[in-house]
Amino acid sequence: MDHSVTIVLLTLINFILAILFLMNLINLYFIKKIYMHKNNDCDVSVSVLIPARNEEANIGRCLRSLQEQNYGNFEIIVLNDNSNDKTAEIVKSVNDVRLRMIDGKNLEKGWVGKNFACHQLQLEAKGEYLLFIDADTELNKDCISNAVTFAVDNKTDLLSIMPWEISVTFWEKLVIPMLYFAVMAFLPVPLIEHSKRREFSMGNGQFMLFKRSCYDIIGGHESLKNKIVEDVWLSRRVKELGQKLIFADGTDIVKCRMYGSFDEVWNGFSKNFFAGLAFSKGGLIAVIITYFILFILPVITLIYGIIISDLNILYLSIAAYIIPVIIRITHSVKFNQPFLFSFINFLSCIFLISVSINSYRILKFGKGANWKGRNYCENEIK
């Protein structure tokens, strides 16, 4: 390896990382946060809509958190999406006049399961606001009150949030914080609200609060019924049709444990990765190259610099290793993410590259993305 070429490359890497670091700081400063306030005056009607397919491990906690809400005017509708576990039994055991359960229809051709479930839910909803949440979320008792107040005060048509993503196992702690990393380091968060360009969009399907009129204007889930990463496409639709989108920090009001094992982490990210890039092979290659050069290569050159005792390569490699670690540390502080795992960011990136390749493989050459017992092939979900 030519030393001068290595030094030039590392210098360029550090320059790009410095830009990402600055982007991260700007986003941390400007991202709006939904705080826990009491005695809010909002009383608009809200429909809380929960698609549930084989969610016996989660649905009970989710519903208990909803029962404890300090908000008067809301209904809860759960759609039992052909579950073959105890999901329906658990929902029926909850004694609350605000709660209804409906049995989902068999999945119709051309639909992705979650989108079809959400579509059925909104047909039953009566609220001025529609709050779609996942069954594995838990809401702070002031969540609905504060989220609705925030949406009304900011004249927001779609409010989506970044919740506190809980990580327990090694694999969760290795990968889940990268969700924050991807948004805060690569996406100019202020432009989500203030730019009309759909490229500056962000949505999180774990918590999406729509003004009903906005939901109808964009055509709801039916307008993207075959999109497997529905939250991204919904947020883009909102921007395309001139509605106001805000993506906010909701770590104080919502928590969620997305996955509980290596298999769930691997399958979940494999399902979403290539689809989230709109099935672009060019986009996939760009992500792989970017993550390898920026976050993995400096570790390789660091070892190389130690072996050949080249101080220039050594110092530049250390700087390129430290900058992403510092970015991750800011997320551990801001979003309550694992601190020590910040120091092995390069391993997180190796995992993401691996899962991105697997995502391409299963959608192009395999049976398709598998989730909740359903397979989705590329030609069905483009």
How many structural domains comprise the chain?
Answer: 2
Does 132 map to a domain?
yes
Residue 122 and residue 227 in one domain: yes
Residue 210 and residue 243 in one domain: yes
Does 321 map to a domain?
yes
Residue 309 and residue 252 in one domain: no
Mean pLDDT value of segment 261-285: 87
Q: Find the CATH number of the domain harbouring 67.
A: 3.90.550.10
Mean pLDDT value of segment 88-92: 96
Does 378 map to a domain?
no
Does 310 map to a domain?
yes
Q: Which two tokens stand for residue 326?
A: 């510092």
CA–CA separation, 319 and 147 (whole Å) = 40
Residue 66 and residue 154 in one domain: yes
Q: Give the confidence band of 374 by pLDDT, cuts at 50, 70, 90.
A: low
Residue 222 and residue 283 in one domain: no
- Within 13 Å, how many C-alpha atoms sit on residue 191's CB side? 15
* DSSP-assigned letters across all residues of 241-301: TT--EEEEE-TTTEEE---SSHHHHHHHHHHHHHHHTTT-HHHHHHHHHHHIIIIIHHHHH
The rounded percent of the chain whose pLDDT value lies above 90 is 82
Structural domain including 19 reads 3-28+274-366
Does 177 map to a domain?
no
Provide the whole-model pTM. 0.92
Chain position carrying tokens 């570790």: 299
Mean pLDDT value of segment 71-95: 95
Residue 289 and residue 355 in one domain: yes
pLDDT at 37: 66
- Report the chain's mean pLDDT, rounded to a whole number: 92
135 φ, ψ (degrees, to nearest 5): -70, -15
Residue 36 and residue 24 in one domain: no
